[in-house]
Structure 1
Amino acid sequence: MSGISQVMDVAQENDHRAPGKAGSVLTGLGKLTGSEFRLMLRDPGIFFVAFFPVVLVLVFGLLPSTSSPSEEFGGGRFIDFYLPPVLTMIIAMMALNALSGVLAAYRERGVLRRLASTPVRPVTLMLAQGLVNMLLLSSVTAVVLLLAGLAFDVPLPRQFFGFVLAFVLCVSAMFALGLLIAALAPTGKAANGIGTVAFFPLAFLAGVWTPGPLMPDVVRRISDFSPLGAGSQAMQAAWSGAFPKPLHLIVLLGFTLVVGFIASRLFRWE
């Protein structure tokens, strides 16, 4: 059964319920979330998102040059500084490709327009997408942290509340950017293309290719004002035991509110 058929079947099952009833909304959200989760698991690209970060941690944890103390990292190890960029990379792939591509494709194929005529509104589908993406993000993050800790003795963030706050704000900022791409892209393929183009400079500023301590000062200053750069540095601060800098949290919150507002104004249901 196609993804469109599954989504529309969920909507049609709720047609007999009175619009606006809390039970109908919750039932529709629950069923759509389950449907979207099953569709996500059938997408080959999701396995790349889930396993590529794990492979990166394994590679850098096993290489002697990246798992041994280095003067470049103040006596620390490369692997100890690389987890925040890896986590931001996972967030970026989910937001810029998975989330934006699916929503743009649903609008292109008329799914959102058809949902608008049922008690299960298009916004319910957006909430379901957000839930399944957040579930996958949380699961992959937990696996990466456990693997790094158990296999390579990488400690958990010492400022755990600061880490959770930075992680959640980074997710919200990037999801807002993903929604903006979905709002502007005419097709699902266009959304994936735009997301891929945006991914590389944002990931560079997050330290995916050049971790923060090795970045030139000018690049680090620029990264302070990018969503992934601010998120990566905020999580790195929490890992070191310090609370994230207010600048980085403000940047993440600003992207969430400003970009999210623009996306909501530009988003078209058909």
Structure 2
Amino acid sequence: MDPLVVCLVICAVTTALTWLASVITHEYSWVDRIWSISPVIYVWVFAVAGAFDARLVLMAVLVTAWGIRLTFNFVRKGGYRPGGEDYRWAVLRGRMSGWRFGLFNLLFISIYQNALILLFSLPALTAFEAAGMPLGAWDLVLAVVFLAFLAGEAIADQQQWVFHQWKAAERAAGRTPQPAFLQSGLFRVSRHPNFFFEQAQWWVFYGFAVAATGVWLHWTIAGAVLLSALFVGSTVFTESISRARYPDYDGYRARTSAIVPWFPRGLKPRPDERTA
């Protein structure tokens, strides 16, 4: 069977199941729970259909490494436990009427996000259509850069994990954590370094489509473009919550790049700011 058709069927089934699970449990992070799993499945479908073409296997191995790391991080944060819903969905529910959120859940959380996951996996389709083209120097460069971005995201997530563990310990001891939010380590040069590295990996993944064909622009770039657009909206929403919670967050915003790591502007971190 055509691997694209197989992936479309998997996507349709996954969409239906995640939506149904959200309706039954009244938790809306079911797509979050399969976010790090579905791309691995999609890319391996193309690798198997391509008779384990070297480039497709390389792409599948890289995505598998990405999926393992992201799944591990999601597990340790309790994302798979009952009640492990992303806190932002609860905030959004409070801002929308019941029927509007129900429609949002169906169209955006379930349908759009599952479609997006498939879309940013589809450079594998371009590579599949060019199967047989030998690996070259650009494939090696892309693999190294992908792994570097993967390591960057792992470091950012670890710094965030250590900070929140310390923050929870401070509260358990009856103390008020200071600082209240992470602004050191990689978070000194980007307010959302994990967002940056996540997007960057999928732009690099699209690069394999270019390496396979020698052509810069394919329609399968749409996944990386739409993923970046999603992160823009997610960043704005996340920061609206942070600004409401922390009076000094605006100062952090003023001196720190939003996504792309860059030199801080003006103020330096206080001595008591924690690094991982």
Q: TM-score, normalised by structure 1?
A: 0.30
**Structure having the larger proportion of residues in helix:** 1
Q: TM-score, normalised by structure 2?
A: 0.30
